[in-house]
Each structure stands twice: as structure tokens, then as C-alpha cells.
Amino acid sequence: MAVQKISISDFIAQRTTEKIFDVRSPGEYNHAHIPFANTLPLFDDEERKQVGTTYKQKSREHAIKYGLDFFGPKMRAMVEQAEKETGHHSGDPKNIFVHCWRGGMRSAAVAWLLDLYGFNVSIIDGGYKAYRNWVLQQFEKEYDFKIIGGYTGSGKSIMLREIEKKGKGIIDLEAIANHKGSAFGGIGMPDQPSQEMFENLLAMQLHLKQHNTIWLEDESQRIGIVNIPHPLWNTIRKMPVYFIEVPFEQRLENIVLEYGPLEKDKLITSIVRIQKRLGPLETKTAIGHILENDLKECFRILLQYYDKTYEKGLHNRESLDTLLNRIPFVTDQKTCTETLCAI
């Protein structure tokens, strides 16, 4: 069966469980890739650099010949890797997708090899570049968002997960970003994705849930080192906010339970990171409470700071009076979830 080409829109629409092989270099893949794609690099980072230099300084033909010197010895290993990852065996050809940066020579070479071996191969036309264009288009669309609001420590993340259990559509921005949103939000979390990878993951979530109401947690535009893309951010800020009114002392208890077990030195480092906004006296006092093992009083200072920050962000919306819906807190987050799900 000949190698086929598939447009990015058809790829997005048709893909189910078929494997995607990204044949770009490891550096390109590690920076960002199509979600669920497997890396099957034609060249390593240094080889890619050398082939690219040959292409620029000599010719396309010289670059191809130079690249073949690298490709030849890898052919068997690449076939075996694809075979292992797909469960391919004779008489049961597997459908796979292959792409490089623009759907050019690298994907053509690997597609030829895997087709020769017996895979049913489709090259993504336009490659990863076409996918990135698709990603950016997702942030320009209109969505039916509903926003869970509330001061820090209100349990918004808990309510978001409970809403999901009720069968409602959600997107957990903090889970995609690997960060809980505050100066302390990265402690104990995996490394954050690059901005590009964050966008790739977010776009796929938006695409899968675009025809339903999507619940989000109220966030700042910046979550750790990544940012919610500006067009999407503008859409989010126009959506109704359901503000859970959790009492201060209840939120303080929640914060102590969540962040109290973390390492003291990391808590102190995070406090130092916001000292210009927190103020010198509050910074010194908060650190002093940590050193004295009085975490509750430390977090009391921090919670007051974050309440002011959240209040400013909440009111920095146009037509807030028509968007803001206050929900009284009753006993716990799960009970509040019932109210939200009934909206």
C-alpha cells in the first residue's frame, strides 16, 4: 500500500488509537510535540544540525547524501522500535501517522521505510508546523465556559474534579500546566511543560470538549511559567463566574493542610520570591513563623495577601456585575458542587 498524505484537519477528525511517530530530532520533540506522539527521530540533534548546514552551504542533494550516511545504520532499529510500539506483526498491518517539521524529507524517508516493511503509513501534510497552526486557531474560537471563582483555599480544584465526576465537561488548567498557580504552586509538582507544549495540550482539550459547556477554575493568565493564550484569555474573562464564598478561617485550614507538609526551605524560597509585593515586614514575619513552626500564622499573612491579589483580578473584568454569581458556602466543597451542577 502506497504512503498516503492526510491533512491536519482530517488527522484531527479521524485519529483514534493509531500511533503517531514524530521523526524530528529529540530536542525538537522534547520542546513540544503533538500530544500522544511517539518520538522516532531520523537524526539526533547534532546530526540534524550537520545536515541542515550542508543543505544551506552546499545543496539539497549533498544534504540528502549526507543524511543517508546517518539513516542507513538506523533503519533496522527504527523499524523494530515502530514494531514494538504498535504491536505490528506480519499479516496484521498497523495504521500509523508520521510527521516531521513541515512534512518534508525526514517524514518522507521514514514513511518510505515503514511502508516498505508493511505498515499502512500516512504522512501528516504540513507536519508539526500545520499542527501548530491548528492549535493557534483553537484559541480564537468561542466556547461556553463557566468559571468557578473563590479566594485561595476555597477548594476550587476539588470542586472542579467533583463536577467532572458528575459527567460535566471540565478543563483543569493547573493539571495541564503542572502548577497550582501561586508562588507556592510548583512545589512538589512535575516540571512544567514549555509554553508551546502547554498550548498543544490545551488546544486538544478544547477541541474534544468544544460542543459542551466547559467548567474552568478561575486563574490568573500566568500559571507558573506558562500563560493562557491571549485570545482564549479574553474569551474566559467574558464568561460567568460562580464565586464560592468560603469563610477565611475555613480557607486557612485548607491551606495549612495542603501546604503545611511541604519542605520549609521551599516555602521560604517561595515567600522570598514575592517579597516585593508582600512587603518587607510581612515577609520577615511570615518567614519567622515558619522557623517557629507556626505555619497557621504564616499562611494567615499569605492568605491575606492572596485575597487582595485575587480581588483585584476578579474586578478587572468588564461588566462584572452581570458576570458575578455569589454562591454561599454550605458545609463542604462537595455540597457546593451540587449547586454548581444544577446551574
Q: What is the pLDDT of residues 118-173, one digit of tens each?
A: 999 999 999 999 999 999 999 999 999 999 999 999 999 999 999 999 999 999 99
In this structure, what C-alpha cell is assigned to residue 6? 492526510
Q: Cβ atoms within 10 A of the Cβ of 276, count? A: 9
Which strands, in side-by-side order, build the sheet including 4-6? 4-6, 120-124, 95-99, 19-22, 38-39
Q: Cβ atoms within 10 A of the Cβ of 220, count? A: 13
Q: Which CB contacts under 8 angstroms, 24+ apart, belong to 306-309?
A: 306/151, 306/152, 306/182, 307/151, 307/152, 307/248, 309/277
The single-letter code of the amino acid at 86 is T
pLDDT (0 to 100) of residue 342: 82
**Residue 327 dihedral angles phi and psi, to the nearest 5°:** -115, 110
The stretches in the chain having pLDDT less than 50 are none
Q: Which single residue is written with the C-alpha cell 514549555?
A: 194
pLDDT tens by residue, 305-321: 999 999 999 988 989 99
pLDDT tens by residue, 234-252: 999 999 999 999 999 999 9
pLDDT (0 to 100) of residue 72: 93
User: Known catalytic residue: 100?
Assistant: yes
Q: Cβ atoms within 10 A of the Cβ of 90, count? A: 7
pLDDT (0 to 100) of residue 1: 65
Which of the following is catalytic: 100, 298, 336, 341? 100
Q: What is the DSSP letter of 94?
A: P
Q: Which residues pair with 170 in a beta bridge?
A: 215
**Residue 222 dihedral angles phi and psi, to the nearest 5°:** -95, 130
Helix (H, G, I), strand (E, B) or coil at 22: strand
Q: Cα separations (Å) of 64 from 26, 59, 113, 263?
A: 20, 9, 15, 53
Where are the strands (E) in 110-194, listed by range?
120-124, 145-149, 169-170
